Amino acid sequence: MRRSRVKENIILVLGLVVAVGGYYFYQTYKKLDFINSVFEKNHGLKDSFAHYRKLEFLKRGGQYFPDYVNPRTLNDKVVYFYENYFLRSPITKIIGTKYLAKKYVKDVVGEEHVVKLYGVWDNPEDIEWDKLPSKFVLKSVRGNFGREVIIVKDKSKIDVAEVTKKLNKFCSAPIMKTIKNKRIIAEELLEPIGGYLVDYKFFCSYGKVLIADCMAREDNEITDVKFKSCSYYELPEWKRVPMIIDDFRILEIGKPKNYDKMIEVCEKLSANFPLIRIDLYEIGDRVLVGEITEDSSGGKAVFEKTEWDFKLGEQIPNLSKSEILKLIERDREISPKYLED
């Protein structure tokens, strides 16, 4: 009798397990079926989940489905040219690395616009600390959006072993294996003459400067670079655009006193590129090139005023694959003298 009851209880429990399992399976199936039906009805959403940049853009609050085949916006075109042009062109190995970019800038606009270089090393252990000034900046040649930068305000106060360890970590990043020059550079520390150190980021297309994105550096910590404010300006009036990108706060930035010189530098450096960003600093009467960026924000910048993303995109030409191939062939001709070093 007891065995019969135990058997009945086991059967009852198994029945409940199957029922509950079946219920959850059915609910999961319904959810997956719903998701699939949404994808089928909206190819833009389905396509976005297949491309990490598109997905990240949407996760960050993007208000439209990116299109990298027929690009329309600034973000779209950043990715389009990066994937079809810059990833295939040897010019990226030059402008995309801090050391070689200095030589390129010197040739195009002159040495006076190059941030002073104190040294370059293939191995952090080889850094000649005694030959460096009391203030300087250490960077990996790729920079990595300011994350691989060490600001040294007083050499006597740093832990050389700890800094060397951090530099080795920069150099061991997987992406560094794809860069010919896995190097560390030391260059002058740029300090503003009063006020904030402003990074003037000019978006350009074939020598035409489209808009200025100004980011104010409010902290110069010993091992970090922090930008806390961002504002955009129409040119040449230097009128602030009512636009906020991502979660930066607004800080009113005055028109640089060397504005005309900045525009001249941007026009020359961007003359051969369908879309590029030229980052400049103004230190007294000096206009210095911080970097040349081919993949601005990874094409994932979210504008509060979405229409500006489209407005800027309209000012950048769409090039066919054959037109891009001609650019790559041109780059192959000019690149060898820089890549030899």
Query: What stretch of H or E contains 45?
Result: helix 43-49
CATH number at residue 148: 3.30.1490.20
pLDDT of residue 43: 53
| Complete DSSP assignment for 88-145 | T-THHHHHTSHHHHHHHHHHHH-GGGBPPEEEEESSGGG--GGGS-SSEEEEETT-TT
pLDDT for the residue 56: 87
| 227 and 319 co-located in one domain | yes
Last residue of a domain, one of 189, 205, 231: 189
Please state, in angstroms and rounded to a whole number, the distance separating the CA atoms of residues 301 and 61: 9
Burial per residue of 92-102, b for 16 or more beta-carbon CB atoms within 10 angstroms, e otherwise: bbbbbbbbbbb
Length of the chain: 341
Q: Return the percentage of the chain with pLDDT > 90, whole number.
A: 50
Q: Is pLDDT at 306 greater than 60 in this prediction?
A: yes
Residues 34-75 have pLDDT tens digits of: 445 544 555 555 555 567 888 888 888 888 989 999 999 999
In a shared domain, residues 147 and 279? no
From 53-62, 217-226, 308-317, the region with the lowest mean pLDDT: 217-226
How would you label 113-131 residue by residue, b for 16+ Cβ within 10 Å and e otherwise?
Answer: bbbeebbbbeebeebeeee
- Residue partners of 187: CB distance under 8 A and separation at least 6: 115, 116, 117, 118, 136, 137, 139
Our CA angle for 41, 42, 48, nearest 5°, is 145
Q: By residue range, what is the domain housing residue 150? A: 116-189
Looking at the structure, tell me whether residues 97 and 147 fall in a common domain: no
Q: Which of 189, 208, 243 is the last residue of a domain?
A: 189
233: phi then psi, degrees, rounded to nearest 5: -135, 135
Those residues with Cβ within 8 angstroms of residue 216's Cβ, 6 or more apart along the chain or in another chain: 196, 197, 198, 199, 227, 228, 229, 230, 251, 253
Are both 233 and 341 inside the same structural domain? yes
Note whether 203 and 312 are within 8 A (CB): yes
Place of tokens 């075109």: 77
- Alpha-carbon separation of residue 131 from 135, 139, 186, 189 (angstroms): 12, 17, 11, 15
Which range, 107-121, 158-172, 184-198, 231-245, has the best average confidence (pLDDT)? 107-121
The reply to whether 37 and 151 lie within a common domain is no
> What CATH number is given to the structural domain containing 293?
3.30.470
CA quadruple 280, 103, 204, 276: dihedral sign: negative
Which of 145-149, 237-241, 243-247 has the least mean pLDDT? 243-247
For residues 260 and 157, membership in a common domain is answered with: no
pTM > 0.85: yes or no? no
**Residue 249 gets which letter from DSSP?**
B
Are 311 and 233 contained in the same domain? yes
Same domain, 327 and 242: yes
Q: What is the pLDDT of residue 185?
A: 93
Look at 222 and 139; give whichever has higher pLDDT: 139
Nearest of 239, 215, 237, 214 to residue 226 by alpha carbon: 215
The reply to whether 204 and 284 lie within a common domain is yes
Residues 231, 295 share a domain: yes
What is the token pair recorded at 340? 């030899």
Q: How many angstroms separate the CA atoms of 14 and 8, rounded?
A: 10
Same structural domain for residues 150 and 181? Answer: yes
CA dihedral sign of residues 206, 209, 213, 215: positive
Q: Cα–Cα distance between 11 and 226 in angstroms, integer?
A: 64
Domain count, the chain: 3
| 201 and 338, same domain (yes or no) | yes
Which of 113-122, 140-149, 228-237, 288-297 shows the lowest mean pLDDT across its residues?
A: 140-149
